[in-house]
Amino acid sequence: MAGAASSSGSVELEVGTAPSVAMGMTYLAMADSIGLAMNNAVAAQQRGQTIGTAALAQVLAMIISAGAAGMTKPP
């Protein structure tokens, strides 16, 4: 048979592909890790934005309350 491999030939074929399969698995693991890192970075940016918005709202409320209490009539 032209396309069939002997039992020893199939073992050599499997052993010969081990390095490329290992690198493929390494690349997949690396891509997954990079995806998780990017997800964490986005989540951290969103948390920072939320905290910044809350801080701005608090400061503006303090400015408005201090401005209203400290107003005097112009001379």
Convert the pLDDT of each residue in 12-33 to its tens digit: 667 788 889 999 999 999 999 9
Spatial separation of the C-alpha atoms in residues 7 and 14, rounded to whole Å: 11
Is the pTM higher than 0.75? The answer reads: no
Spatial separation of the C-alpha atoms in residues 32 and 56, rounded to whole Å: 36
Residue with the bigger pLDDT between 9 and 67: it is 67
User: Is the pLDDT assigned to residue 61 strictly greater than 80?
Assistant: yes
Q: Which residues, 6 or more positions from 5, have their beta carbon under 8 angstroms from its beta carbon?
A: 13
Spatial separation of the C-alpha atoms in residues 27 and 33, rounded to whole Å: 10
User: Is the pLDDT assigned to residue 74 strictly greater than 60?
Assistant: no
From the centroid of its chain, how far is CA 18? 31
Handedness of CA 36, 37, 42, 44 (dihedral sign): positive
Band the pLDDT of 1: cuts 50, 70, 90: very low
